[in-house]
């Protein structure tokens, strides 16, 4: 098991390299010149050219790519922002907490609401409860998060004045962003939970559990749900990625100073170091979540655990 985790951690290095190269290349081919944007409309061609040399933007693609990779992976330095001149690493660190707060609470909401909805729908299959739950889920997958965010702002902040319009502060500032960000996740979670529960409820071992004399509750929570968990956990992991991505949009709607709004303004200003590092950090976070999901699989399902361990044993044998 430890070997498996180590292997997965090592595999993360090429993934990070890939992300870095990809996003660097995309930004390289993006039109727009950071030097011109920094100096403003009044700058002369000479001043702009000088700035480009200063930032190293006059170098060809491969030199710049290699310099960037060396800086990030060997010097372990995310560089400084073109505009603010401050360390990108520090900028990301100070903003990460808002993004993580929104993403993690959205995920919490997704699990706490989406899973029970799915279980209720599955146990009342084709009944009224099922119809209502699936109606909510249908709305959730169809409504885009940013639109929902705007509509909720109009209703709860502007018309009713219950919740603040934008910014950060106490918990009330995060209610609308988290709801807007998690609605689609709740819906996906409910649908996935329902379908995997339905599949498991029909299986023979659930009939065996009933035949043992367990109550319906015990059958559901001791036998059916644990077996239905694998696809449910997968959706939670994917959802976390969606939440991180969604946070970028939601932060802009609510003017929350997280990584999302940091990156958004950096993209508009072609502040390459921030964009590259921001994507890299989100990518690494997502990779870690996926690793965590795979490790949780092993604890939920002994067959998967055996599989991880068997591979390690086989490798040991062939090495010896």
In whole angstroms, what is the distance from residue 102 CA to residue 168 CA?
Answer: 11
Is residue 110 a contact point for another protein (CB under 8 A)?
Answer: no
CB 133 within 8 A of CB 193: no
* Residue from the set 209, 291, 293, 296 that interacts with another protein by CB under 8 A: 209
Contact 122/193 with Cβ under 8 angstroms?
yes
In whole angstroms, how large is the CA radius of gyration of the chain?
24
Residues 34, 146: Cα–Cα separation, whole Å: 29
The answer to whether the CB of 69 falls within 8 A of the CB of 148 is no
CB within 8 A of 156, min separation 6: which ones? 162, 163, 176
# residues near another protein by CB under 8 A: 23
For another protein, the closer of residues 272 and 308 by Cβ is: 308
Residue 226 binds to another protein (criterion: CB under 8 A)? yes
Question: Which position among 53, 139, 207, 313 is part of the footprint of another protein (CB under 8 A)?
Answer: 207
Judged by CB under 8 A, the residue of 227, 277, 285, 287 near another protein is 227
Nearer to another protein, 7 or 124 (CB): 124
Minimum CB separation from another protein for residue 188, in Å?
24
Q: How far apart are CB 284 and another protein at their closest, in Å?
A: 31
Q: Does 1 participate in binding another protein (rule CB under 8 A)?
A: no
Q: Is 210 in the site for another protein (CB under 8 A)?
A: yes
Shortest separation between residue 320's beta carbon and another protein, angstroms: 24
Burial of 32 (0-12, 13-18, 19+ CB in 10 A): exposed
Q: Note whether 131 binds another protein by CB under 8 A.
A: no
The pair phi, psi for residue 195, each rounded to 5°, is -70, -35
Check binding of 8 to another protein (CB under 8 A): no
* Beta bridge pairs of residue 87: 80
**Min separation Cβ 222 and another protein, Å:** 8
Residues 259-318 that bind another protein (CB under 8 A): 300-303, 306
CA dist., res. 186 & res. 193, Å (int): 10
- Contact string 177-206 vs another protein (x = CB under 8 A): -------------------------xxxx-
Residues 61-100 that bind another protein (CB under 8 A): none
The interface with another protein within residues 230-259 (CB under 8 A) comprises: none
Chosen residue from 38, 143, 214, 267 binding another protein by CB under 8 A? 214
Residue 208 lies near another protein (rule: CB under 8 A): yes
Nearer to another protein, 113 or 236 (CB): 236
222 counts as binding another protein under rule CB under 8 A? yes
In the complex, the smallest distance separating the C-beta of residue 289 from another protein, rounded to whole angstroms, is: 23
The total of other beta-carbon atoms located within 10 Å of residue 139's CB is 13
Name, in order, each residue with C-beta under 8 angstroms of 219's C-beta and a sequence gap of 6 or more: 206, 209, 210
Closest contact distance (angstroms) between CB of 23 and another protein is 40
DSSP letter string, 181-219: HHHHHHHHHHHHHHHHHHHHHTSHHHHHHHHTT--HHHI
> Rounded to the nearest 5°, which phi and psi values hold at 162?
-75, -35
Residues that bind another protein (CB under 8 A): 202-205, 207-216, 222-223, 226-227, 300-303, 306
């Amino acid at each position: 098991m430890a070997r498996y985790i180590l292997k997965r951690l090592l595999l993360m290095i090429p993934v990070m390299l890939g992300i870095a190269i990809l996003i660097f290349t995309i930004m390289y081919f993006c039109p727009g010149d950071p030097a011109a944007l920094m100096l403003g409309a009044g700058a002369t061609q000479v001043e702009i050219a000088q700035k480009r040399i200063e930032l190293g933007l006059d170098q060809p693609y491969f030199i710049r790519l290699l310099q960037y990779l060396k800086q990030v992976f060997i010097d372990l330095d995310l560089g400084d922002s073109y505009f603010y001149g401050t360390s990108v690493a520090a900028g990301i660190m100070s903003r990460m907490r808002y993004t993580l707060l929104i993403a993690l609470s959205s995920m919490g909401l997704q699990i706490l609401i989406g899973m029970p909805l799915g279980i209720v729908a599955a146990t009342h299959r084709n009944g009224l409860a099922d119809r209502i739950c699936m109606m909510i889920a249908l709305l959730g997958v169809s409504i885009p998060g940013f639109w929902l965010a705007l509509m909720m702002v109009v209703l709860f902040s502007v018309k009713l004045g219950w919740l603040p319009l934008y910014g950060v502060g106490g918990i009330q500032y995060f209610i609308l962003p988290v709801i807007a960000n998690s609605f689609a996740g709740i819906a996906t979670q409910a649908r996935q939970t329902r379908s995997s529960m339905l599949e498991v409820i029909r299986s023979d071992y659930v009939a065996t559990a009933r035949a043992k004399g367990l109550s319906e509750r015990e059958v559901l929570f001791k036998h059916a749900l644990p077996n239905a968990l694998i696809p449910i956990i997968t959706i939670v992991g994917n959802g976390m990625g969606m939440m991180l991505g969604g946070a970028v949009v939601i932060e802009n709607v609510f003017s929350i100073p997280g990584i999302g709004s940091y990156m958004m303004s950096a993209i508009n200003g072609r502040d390459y170091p921030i964009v590259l590092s921001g994507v890299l950090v989100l990518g690494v976070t997502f990779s870690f979540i996926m690793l965590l999901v795979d490790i949780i699989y092993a604890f939920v399902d002994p067959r998967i655990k055996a599989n991880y361990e068997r591979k390690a044993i086989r490798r040991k044998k062939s090495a010896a």
